[in-house]
Amino acid sequence: MIIGLTGGIGSGKSTVARAFETLGAAWVDADDVAREIVQPGEPTLFAIQKRFGDQVINVDGTLNRAALRDIVFKNPEQRRWLESVTHPKIRERLLQHLERLTAQGAPYVLLVSPLLFESGQHALVSRSLVVDVPQALQLSRTQQRDGVSESQVHAILAAQLPREQRLAKADDVIDNGGDQTSMMQQVIRLDEQYRRLLNG
């Protein structure tokens, strides 16, 4: 069984995934895969460099994420082009990781993806789990973690599904606006539910 785990930026998706991992679940992060497909030597990086030039490439040949983010969040057409190139590659690589993890015998696998619904990756999962926090908390956490401006966080939020729509699409929800203990209790309850579904 594959569970799609999603949530807005700064909602704590990775923290929740690691909590499930302590209970025996395996997980793959679409953000990690998105970084994988733009490593030096990957065809996707070559396509991005061809489109945007050397301004999006660091001295060491890696992708300059900040420069690329700056371009695509100011220009919706450029963002659509980037997504048309990266999303199919991410999906292909995700499927490889999910197959590998399933073969290793985990009871269920989490597909952690900020754009689970937007990218069509929800078609790969049996259930969807949304990690939810108030928007004010998303803003403060993201600014603290990534050192980005408030306007950049708002631009990222605008590119993601509105909170109400994401919650409406969820099979399950974890409220991650509280403390670690509260989050862990919710994870334990869902882990039991997923195992019952598997055995049922």
Q: Judge whether 98 and 28 are in contact, CB under 8 Å.
A: yes
> Phi/psi of residue 111, each to 5°?
-100, 105
pLDDT at 9: 81
Question: Is residue 119 domain-resident?
Answer: yes
Domain count, the chain: 1
pLDDT at 131: 96
Question: Is residue 127 domain-resident?
Answer: yes
- How many Cα atoms sit within 13 Å of 190 on the Cβ side? 27
pLDDT at 116: 92
CATH code, 130: 3.40.50.300
pLDDT of 92 higher than 90: yes
Q: How far apart are CA 91 and CA 93, in angstroms?
A: 6
Question: Is residue 105 domain-resident?
Answer: yes
Question: Is residue 27 domain-resident?
Answer: yes
Predicted model pTM: 0.83
Tell me whether residue 15 is annotated as binding: yes
For the record, the structure tokens of 121 come out as 């990756």
pLDDT digit string, tens, across residues 140-197: 777 777 667 777 777 777 777 888 999 999 999 999 999 999 999 999 999 999 999 9
For the record, the structure tokens of 46 come out as 């070559």
pLDDT of 79 higher than 80: yes
Q: How far apart are CA 5 and CA 60, in angstroms?
A: 33
Domain ranges, residue 194? 2-32+89-199
Residues in the chain: 200
Tell me whether residue 14 is annotated as binding: yes
Nearest in space to 38 (alpha carbons), one of 62, 56, 55: 62
Question: Is residue 24 domain-resident?
Answer: yes
pLDDT of 60 higher than 90: yes
Tell me whether residue 24 is annotated as binding: no
**Mean pLDDT value of segment 5-34:** 93
Q: 3-class SS at 162?
A: coil
Question: Is residue 52 domain-resident?
Answer: no
